[in-house]
Chain A
């Protein structure tokens, strides 16, 4: 099962990004300071829904050091589409730079102050006089569906998207007549990405050359360039987007949001260099939220607990102004709901609904509620049948012999190891022994321990929708032999400068220290899909491989000509091209590179000089990865606190490029899911006022809440060139239901039940009280 590790691929090569980041030499967007740079602050609505009755910027404009105070009247008429490239023609919210006659969520930008310092910009923002006549806010997603008021008066309904996948007659019969039919409604609460670096842009517009250079905190520089081009009307070749270091994103920085686009448009209108760095309050209330989902799930089972049919009715809260389409979950929640289990038939309905709240946006596994709802439902089904949740999964899981397996939604599942990871996770955590201990501790001390599982298959590197499925790599060899790789990626913690160098060095046969990866800059890299959607290893990696193969072939051809050998007899090892089995017959890689550029008379007749190649790769529609999470918890009956005791992830992401980076990605995702389930909660009051506007209110995990994570790896190569599978999001997909199930398992000891998150102390104590425990 385990692929053979290469010289570089498969090794935990230490990251070359680290030295600069550890010594304070990184360059994030706020570190860019340019001559003549002005600073921006937004004036935002503090009313969730209302009519703007007065907007007076005179006092703000009069403040010393204020250059401009821009409102909708100054900018909106000059703005092109603010939709992302992926969804230019899709239905969506009526995006606009600044609020015009009305406001639609707390945080809705109303004016942009431009001043000589950030301090002055914020002073002036307080002097902008805004009066808003409040209207009843539409805050609750379930009520929004049929609410008489509309979030967007331009649209006919608050339901922005409605994807039906109707039940067949056979499914109706199964859901009606099966020996056991279980139904449960799960609710997931509002969370947000919280990259430690907030959003930001420095937009420098030079009216003389009509060029705009934007330094941004973005996962996707080429998308940012296209978005700025659409909004400003400048041609794409007059726009350059640069992102050297990006302080996290987790989806938030994949599409370019309204705020950055407004600043870019303002820079063009004013002909100046503008900097906007979001503050944490803005990030918590106005960047993007995620995860507000409701699903009513129905499973039909036979007497042995085997699945006969499934139906899920899913509702997601899109907020007011989602940029990445209608939220991000959409139909995928329904399509993936049956996941790694054999189900003869299934159907779904999935609706996305506008509310007067911050936009829903991509957050690490945007459709992850399919796994949350299914895995929580699996435990409900197991309890209903009287089976242990592990045994229920064993009976229903798709096994190696079932592959390829077509999901009821039509998605073809293959090259996954759901059953194997289930067993590996159960073994590492000592599932059976824990059951004994759990019973003993409960009976002797009344303590509530629980164990949970989270099993899933994950569609990664999805290639079906342009431009998400393609990347291009340029592999360029200098006359001195060193290699530069140019990629359109936007690394924001994944270590792409290291991992893609591993891939290229492996393919070329040169030392990894002779390979440098350039990315995060539209001027020096080919168009690419950015970094997100668990796609870089498969898509950019395959492009790197293809470009490297072309360079390697040319090197071999030149060397064969020089040595009068057959190309097929040559190999490249440690930067030396030699005849296999006759190492004395060799020519150094660097000599080939020199000849290709500086001694071209020695090239084979008719060969063009130079040594570089460009290759593009289109990913297959889906490259599946899979994992099983298992954890144990203790629920404190007095305080309601949940403590995670052990956490295990068994995963299969195919051939690992860098196991250290893989485990780092898993850990980060798991802990985000842990925080999301137990601690983090974006709270609005009934009028749509956000109550969690600082890190004192929105609680992300710290080192004291987090267990040590244990890993198991199974490496089943994908059918893509390197055998890799995407894995950046999975940790955050598997952990929420895993922790939920463990808590539910503990509570079940005393007959207490939960059906929603977050699982903070009040929720736990309420569940215990309700059960009289």
Chain B
């Protein structure tokens, strides 16, 4: 039904050899074959952003990529954002301090998106923050704490 491919992917710094069906998404690959269930699937059609991961440093929707497309790439999931001992990154710390999450389901996508944003633009304006967040849907917070968290992580909060 579906051809199989051998791939080599670096996931959160660990090199991984895997054989995957051509149609397996990157999201399903990291969740089921790598056991990294922090990457969540909220829509599976590329709109909600919950499944956002970094591929070679760029924030991408892992539900819209096939695992074979990540062959040779460096993938960072939310599990790879903080310290291995569970220590929070500055972005994660800011989300906690500003109540930027409630149910937490969309949160990994936001954490990855904001991490990528601040790597590219360390001091975004409010308009830039909202624009950067507009590809991620949160249904709990009304984005109030999320916007504050980005400001805090960027050191631009009042």
Query: Which residues of chain A from 30 to 71 have any CB-CB distance to chain B below 8 Å in the complex?
Result: 30-31, 33
Check if A667 is an interface residue, CB within 8 A of chain B: yes
A33→B44 CA distance, assembly (Å)? 19
Contacts of A701 on B, CB cut-off 8 Å?
A: 142-143
| Cβ-defined contact, A196 with B103, below 8 A | yes
| Cβ-defined contact, A23 with B134, below 8 A | no
| Cβ-defined contact, B32 with A670, below 8 A | no
| Cβ-defined contact, B96 with A195, below 8 A | no
| Cβ-defined contact, A119 with B42, below 8 A | no
Check if A638 is an interface residue, CB within 8 A of chain B: no
Report if A31-B37 is in contact (Cβ < 8 Å); known contacts: A17-B104, A248-B105, A704-B130.
Answer: yes
- The binding surface of chain B is classed by DSSP as loop
User: How far is the CB of B73 from the nearest CB of chain A, in Å?
Assistant: 19
A15→B105 CA distance, assembly (Å)? 15
Q: Mark B104-140, 1 if CB is under 8 A from A, else 0.
A: 1111100100000000000000000111011111111
Contacts of B133 on A, CB cut-off 8 Å?
A: 702-704
User: How many residues of A sit at the interface, in one of the four size bands?
Assistant: 35 or more
Binds A, one of B3-11, B64-72, B79-87: B79-87
Query: Which residues of chain A from 1 to 44 have any CB-CB distance to chain B below 8 Å in the complex?
Result: 14-15, 17-19, 21-28, 30-31, 33
A18→B86 CA distance, assembly (Å)? 12
Report if A23-B82 is in contact (Cβ < 8 Å); known contacts: A119-B21, A246-B103.
Answer: yes
Check if B18 is an interface residue, CB within 8 A of chain A: no
21 contacts between A and B (CB under 8 A): A14-B97, A15-B96, A18-B95, A22-B88, A26-B38, A119-B2, A119-B24, A195-B105, A196-B106, A196-B139, A246-B103, A247-B106, A248-B139, A280-B45, A669-B142, A671-B141, A700-B137, A702-B136, A704-B130, A704-B131, A706-B144
Check if B54 is an interface residue, CB within 8 A of chain A: no
Contacts of B21 on A, CB cut-off 8 Å?
A: 119
| Cβ-defined contact, A250 with B139, below 8 A | yes
User: How far is the CB of B30 from the nearest CB of chain A, in Å?
Assistant: 10
A24→B111 CA distance, assembly (Å)? 10
Check if B55 is an interface residue, CB within 8 A of chain A: no
Contacts of A704 on B, CB cut-off 8 Å?
A: 130-131, 133-134
| Cβ-defined contact, A664 with B23, below 8 A | no
Closest to B103 in A: A493
Report if A22-B92 is in contact (Cβ < 8 Å); known contacts: A694-B43, A704-B131.
Answer: yes
| Cβ-defined contact, B103 with A195, below 8 A | yes
Closest to B48 in A: A695
Contacts of A195 on B, CB cut-off 8 Å?
A: 103, 105, 139
Most A CB contacts (10 A, CB to CB) among B39, B41, B106, B133 go to B41
Query: Of B45, B107, B130, which one neighbours A21 at CB under 8 angstroms?
Result: B107
Check if B60 is an interface residue, CB within 8 A of chain A: no
The 7 A-B residue pairs with the shortest CB-CB distance in the complex, in nearest-first order: A24-B38, A247-B105, A21-B104, A671-B142, A493-B102, A493-B103, A667-B142
Q: Mark A113-150, 1 if CB is under 8 A from B, else 0.
A: 00000010001000000000000000000000000000
| Cβ-defined contact, A247 with B38, below 8 A | no
| Cβ-defined contact, A703 with B147, below 8 A | yes
Contacts of A672 on B, CB cut-off 8 Å?
A: 139, 142
Check if A326 is an interface residue, CB within 8 A of chain B: no
| Cβ-defined contact, B96 with A22, below 8 A | yes
Contacts of B147 on A, CB cut-off 8 Å?
A: 703, 708
| Cβ-defined contact, B99 with A660, below 8 A | yes
Check if A211 is an interface residue, CB within 8 A of chain B: no
A702→B79 CA distance, assembly (Å)? 25
Closest to A284 in B: B43
A18-B96, A24-B39, A245-B103 known; 20 new pairs, CB 8 Å cut-off, are: A22-B101, A24-B77, A24-B108, A25-B79, A26-B104, A28-B40, A28-B105, A119-B2, A196-B103, A664-B145, A667-B141, A671-B141, A671-B143, A694-B47, A696-B45, A703-B143, A703-B146, A704-B130, A706-B142, A708-B147
A249→B1 CA distance, assembly (Å)? 37
Closest to A64 in B: B1
Most A CB contacts (10 A, CB to CB) among B79, B96, B140 go to B140
Contacts of B99 on A, CB cut-off 8 Å?
A: 15, 660-661, 663-664
Contacts of A494 on B, CB cut-off 8 Å?
A: 102
| Cβ-defined contact, A492 with B103, below 8 A | yes
Query: Of A24, A280, A671, A703, which one neighbours B42 at CB under 8 angstroms?
Result: A280
User: How far is the CB of B124 from the nearest CB of chain A, in Å?
Assistant: 12
User: How far is the CB of B156 from the nearest CB of chain A, in Å?
Assistant: 15
| Cβ-defined contact, A30 with B41, below 8 A | yes
Check if A197 is an interface residue, CB within 8 A of chain B: yes
| Cβ-defined contact, A14 with B96, below 8 A | yes
Contacts of B144 on A, CB cut-off 8 Å?
A: 663-664, 667, 706, 708-709
A223→B141 CA distance, assembly (Å)? 27
| Cβ-defined contact, A668 with B39, below 8 A | no
Check if A495 is an interface residue, CB within 8 A of chain B: yes
| Cβ-defined contact, B40 with A247, below 8 A | yes
Contacts of A250 on B, CB cut-off 8 Å?
A: 139
Check if A279 is an interface residue, CB within 8 A of chain B: yes
A709→B130 CA distance, assembly (Å)? 15
A706→B41 CA distance, assembly (Å)? 24
Most B CB contacts (10 A, CB to CB) among A28, A661, A702 go to A702
User: How far is the CB of A759 from the nearest CB of chain B, in Å?
Assistant: 18
| Cβ-defined contact, B40 with A197, below 8 A | yes
Report if A280-B44 is in contact (Cβ < 8 Å); known contacts: A196-B103, A664-B102.
Answer: yes
Contacts of B137 on A, CB cut-off 8 Å?
A: 196, 695, 700, 702
A733→B24 CA distance, assembly (Å)? 42
Check if A231 is an interface residue, CB within 8 A of chain B: no
Contacts of A280 on B, CB cut-off 8 Å?
A: 42-45, 48
Contacts of B135 on A, CB cut-off 8 Å?
A: 702
A248→B102 CA distance, assembly (Å)? 8
A197→B108 CA distance, assembly (Å)? 13
Check if A194 is an interface residue, CB within 8 A of chain B: yes
A704→B131 CA distance, assembly (Å)? 6
User: How far is the CB of B41 from the nearest CB of chain A, in Å?
Assistant: 7
User: How far is the CB of B28 from the nearest CB of chain A, in Å?
Assistant: 8
Contacts of B140 on A, CB cut-off 8 Å?
A: 196, 248, 493, 664, 668
Query: Of A19, A26, A245, A669, which one neighbours B96 at CB under 8 angstroms?
Result: A19
Query: Of A23, A669, A696, A703, which one neighbours B81 at CB under 8 angstroms?
Result: A23
Query: Of A24, A197, A495, which one neighbours B79 at CB under 8 angstroms?
Result: A24
Check if B75 is an interface residue, CB within 8 A of chain A: no
Contacts of B1 on A, CB cut-off 8 Å?
A: 123
| Cβ-defined contact, A703 with B134, below 8 A | yes
| Cβ-defined contact, B81 with A245, below 8 A | no
Check if B154 is an interface residue, CB within 8 A of chain A: no
Query: Which residues of chain A from 641 to 690 have any CB-CB distance to chain B below 8 Å in the complex?
Result: 660-661, 663-665, 667-672
Contacts of B146 on A, CB cut-off 8 Å?
A: 703
User: How far is the CB of A457 from the nearest CB of chain B, in Å?
Assistant: 23
Contacts of B86 on A, CB cut-off 8 Å?
A: 19, 23, 25
Report if A196-B82 is in contact (Cβ < 8 Å); known contacts: A26-B38, A28-B105, A493-B104.
Answer: no
A671→B140 CA distance, assembly (Å)? 9
A247→B43 CA distance, assembly (Å)? 13
Check if B50 is an interface residue, CB within 8 A of chain A: yes
Contacts of A247 on B, CB cut-off 8 Å?
A: 40, 103-106
A698→B146 CA distance, assembly (Å)? 22
Contacts of A663 on B, CB cut-off 8 Å?
A: 99, 144
Contacts of B81 on A, CB cut-off 8 Å?
A: 23
Contacts of A14 on B, CB cut-off 8 Å?
A: 96-97
User: How far is the CB of B59 from the nearest CB of chain A, in Å?
Assistant: 15
Most B CB contacts (10 A, CB to CB) among A23, A28, A492, A703 go to A703
Query: Of B45, B97, B136, which one neighbours A694 at CB under 8 angstroms?
Result: B45
Contacts of A119 on B, CB cut-off 8 Å?
A: 2, 21, 23-24
Closest to A647 in B: B142
Q: Mark A190-204, 1 if CB is under 8 A from B, else 0.
A: 000011111000000
A668→B103 CA distance, assembly (Å)? 11
Closest to A26 in B: B104
A671→B141 CA distance, assembly (Å)? 8
